[in-house]
Copies of this chain bind each other. A is one copy, B any other.
């Protein structure tokens, strides 16, 4: 047999470990023939799903979710097979098993539920089931009236072998059946016993798996806490939280805002960086290259003589104040999400202490961030390829662990796609070992494959393209990709209608109706969503043709917000968030189903719990200027409603109630009132007096 030659050329000796890292199959070569000693294993297990990139990456679930596993399983000939899905939490020694069943065309299916945080493993096993095959053939021969004497004795031998594998009661029962099957002349009860449920169950408990085929990989599930699937985010700059104009906001000021933030229904409060801000090349108002006296600069230009990524910007307060804020927020059911932006201002302590972590140019100047011809001189990128990268990576991991130890369990990571994937996979992996409850949100607005890879390497949530999706077709196409394709196995979207960097065109020109429309879309299409406030609830939308960034951007100046200014949409936000918390159907994105409606400006979609105890139908008018109407086709069958059975729909936004019947029902939405319905569907028609119970 030809042997694979060793690789001789020097060039090729540098074999990558990057991918090999994911796969112990280091030389990655496959045998040319089938090793003889493996002969009698006749079953083939192929095309196991889910399996991300050949098993290199875990799929993701949250506690309580189900993992459905399918595979192509078959053998030569016409014998019947049995197959088993096996799984365990890595903490457990023993494997759980659950039978798989054939769906169609040699495709089998099984499922299990994950109950603990951390890593689960799953694999498959299948074998030729000679007993099941014997039962099938015995029945055929019996139906054909053939003499079964010998066949029953054949079965007796199979049962006797099972008895040897069994013990105690089962063994006794099996042995007594052996006698029954071997009796001559055949007893009247022999065939009924041979084909009966009792023997079938006994034989299933003691299968002959000597030649079982086990799938050659152990695949993994990473289980996060439910918050990573259902969360409601509010972004706010603490320095703008002062009740008095002019004064720099503090963590104490933020604490005073917590009750209102909680009343609005947010459970994650995301703060832009809270570290000392550099002075060299500090940016001024509206991103001007030089700050004037007293201008605060961008919080993302991290580091000054007052400290770096583990320090607190003095004007915000102390580390103690911050820990106090974390605890206070917790009392209001709010978690603080911290911003991780691995970049430095020219004044960052690292620059002096670890110059080797940066790129230096031949003229002795440091290489600042640039996107030629643009320059960002207030920020210096870290050089992840430095010869000293191990120390750098360790330091950055420790920065995150430092904040974990202060009580932080959610990180919003700034531009993770400009740091090596390997760094994140390693750092997140290490942190997750000790703290499986930590959630990382990736702020990566970049190419699709890069965004998806960040989820694969460990980010539990990700920003998305939602912000730039406008037409009905775009929403259906994108949400179908996110919720119905393989992507859903590892990528959890977090929808943001706005951010400090992004005031999208439709908000600039659509006004209040557009803000309401985007709010309902984000909050009901995705179970994770967030807004940058108070800019959002105040419908701040000074148009800047061709520019997405807010004018007079809070990134470069301190604001004093009148949070209750007229025209604010806080009441609607509060109601939408209350609806999300009261309705489990809105607490997962995987149950999304679009509904046909012949109007390009109306987007309709249903969401229901598997037990149908909570059924919602959303309708959104994508046109902020005109009333739109149409006939929506609702999935009556899925909802278990008969075509001739009237049912009630209750608009949880407006409180209006309608009685519908049949597949097609009329909808009309005036953006000047409210551009959306969130309809609770009540399969059975209630009496008017019952309506209160819908509230």
Contacts and interface: CB of A to CB of B under 8 A. Distances in A.
Contacts of A2: 90-91, 118-119, 433
Contact of A19 (B5, B92, B216, B361): B216
Contact of A422 (B12, B30, B42, B57): B42
A72 interface: yes
Given A86-B12, A94-B8, A17 B30 contact: no
Given A12-B86, A373-B140, A450 B74 contact: yes
A35 B23 CA distance: 11
A112 interface: no
B93 A150 contact: no
Interface string A45-57: 1110000011111
Number of copies of this protein chain within its complex:
2
A695 interface: no
Contacts of A685: none
Contacts of A209: 11, 14
B213 A447 contact: no
A36 interface: yes
A417 to B, nearest CB: 6
A215 interface: yes
B216 A28 contact: yes
A37 interface: yes
Given A119-B32, A389-B39, A390-B39, A214 B429 contact: no
A544 interface: no
A462 B91 CA distance: 48
Given A18-B41, A76-B417, A361-B150, A25 B25 contact: yes
Interface string A412-439: 0000011111110110111011000000
Interface string A543-559: 00000000000000000
A31 interface: yes
Of A20, A21, A57, A393, most B-chain CB atoms within 10 Å? A21
Interface in A181-229: 209-218, 220
Interface residues of A, number: 124
Given A76-B418, A94-B8, A35 B17 contact: yes
Of A22, A26, A39, A105, most B-chain CB atoms within 10 Å? A39
A241 B447 CA distance: 68
Contact of A24 (B27, B32, B370): B27
Contacts of A24: 25, 27-31
Nearest to A6: B93
A140 B28 CA distance: 41
Contact of A141 (B39, B141, B218, B373): B373
Given A44-B421, A210-B14, A216-B25, A150 B365 contact: yes
Contacts of A453: 44, 46, 74
A448 B104 CA distance: 12
A16 B125 contact: yes
B154 A361 contact: yes
A9 B449 contact: no
B32 A433 contact: yes
Nearest to A457: B34
Of A15, A143, A156, A216, most B-chain CB atoms within 10 Å? A216
The 4 closest A-B pairs by CB, nearest first: A33-B429, A16-B214, A144-B373, A25-B25
Given A32-B119, A106-B449, 6 more contacts: A2-B118, A18-B41, A32-B220, A37-B390, A39-B426, A74-B453
28 contacts: A2-B119, A12-B95, A14-B210, A16-B215, A17-B38, A17-B41, A19-B215, A19-B216, A22-B30, A23-B216, A24-B28, A25-B25, A28-B215, A30-B55, A30-B217, A32-B432, A39-B420, A40-B384, A42-B384, A54-B54, A74-B447, A76-B418, A76-B450, A141-B372, A144-B373, A150-B361, A154-B361, A157-B362
